[in-house]
Amino acid sequence: MNQPAEINTYWNKRGRTYGAESRLAGHYHRLQESFLIDVLKLSGVPYRRILEIGCGFGRMTKVLADAFPDSAITALDLSEDQLANARTYCWDCDNVTLARHDLYSDQPFPGGRFDLAIAVEVFLHHPNGAVRAFINRIAESVDDVVNIDWCEDWQAPISDHVWMHNYRLLYREAGLTSVSFAFPEKVDGKQQRLFVAGHSLPEALHRLERLIQHYNPHAPEPAWQSAVQTPRATVPENWDLALRTSATKLLSLVPDGATFILADDGQWPGAAFPGRRVLPFLERDGHWWGPPENDEAALRELERLRAQGAAYFVYAWPSFWWMEHYARFDQHLRQNFPCLLQNEQLIVYQLTCSVPRADFLAGEQ
């Protein structure tokens, strides 16, 4: 079932029998609803115009209307039967407008521009190419996007109307920054995640992502869900050999005559890079000046050195702790520059290519 017409036929048919009565009492749905609202409110963003995609009979629509009574909510669905159910279920929600919309059409979303678009268990019912197109189109009309979907391999066979997607990668390809939050409980042994993506996410969401990951370490993001994997720093058993190996690899990546930035915490004084200009990070008069004070200082220094001709940025293993400590700076690198190499000793970004290329997103393991 891969064609839009087939998919729409399936959901129009299912919409005639998928009612509210059997779907409201579940513990997991109450958890899903409270988790979504908590994340949105902790973001600190005043979402005034909200677009819900695939509202069904209005389960989440009503939750959003109650949680954000001063916001205008436009809820869309393909099925006229489901929209009729939603009108009944949300009869007392004065801030809700319901409308039919086909995601596979080229029609604009009714209502113009929105602060936030929400899709709960919608994207997983469409193939990868379609979801990529949906996200690209949604990103043109909204500031932030939230989706809740399954996010790990299932042990049982997946039905023919379910697809598993790498949302990190899809959002990155659309030019969006994303964070994700694993639900504190599984359902039927399967994990769901809440993804938030936007052109510029508030720092509160990045902090919340790190906090939840810290207190929920048993729900790591699956490897295939990450656009770029972050390796953990390991101290080489043979430091000199690792240094020589890394230097050789860098010489093969950075062309003769090029300039690259090296973040190594001043630990690679003996590294030899003939024919290349090396700028330590931070740099003063050609010497290493210590780590940045904060993300803003790191970003300013990056742009200053790029203006001086730096074409590559290199993390060496002594500075891998930066990726967590300077999370916004690291996010900037990941979002804006292709990763040419990634292993236990090095991460290399190309600074002369500002548009990420899909073939570089996974890096080299």
pLDDT tens sequence across 202-260: 888 888 887 777 666 666 676 556 655 555 555 566 777 888 888 898 999 999 999 99
Q: Is the pLDDT at 355 greater than 50, yes or no? A: no
DSSP characters for 15-43? HTT--STTTSS-HHHHHHHHHHHHHHHHT
Residue 325: what residue type? Answer: H
Task: Compute the average pLDDT of residues 294-316.
Answer: 93
d(CA 316, CA 262): 7
Write down the pLDDT at residue 270: 59
From 118, 23, 22, select the one nearest 64 (Cα to Cα). Answer: 118
User: Residues for the chain: how many in total?
Assistant: 365
Residue 28 sits at φ, ψ, to 5 deg, of -65, -35
Helix (H) or strand (E) segment spanning residue 146: strand 142-150
Task: Compute the average pLDDT of residues 72-100.
Answer: 95
Quick check: helix, strand or coil at residue 310?
A: strand
Q: End-to-end alpha-carbon separation of the chain, Å? A: 35
| Tokens representing residue 116 in the block | 């936030």
Residue 90: what residue type? Answer: C
Confidence of residue 136 (pLDDT cuts 50, 70, 90): very high
Write down the pLDDT at residue 22: 47
Confidence of residue 2 (pLDDT cuts 50, 70, 90): low
Q: Is the pLDDT at 69 greater than 90, yes or no? A: yes
Q: Tell me the range of 25-39, 41-55, 122-136, 205-219 where mean pLDDT is highest.
A: 41-55
Place of tokens 């469409």: 126
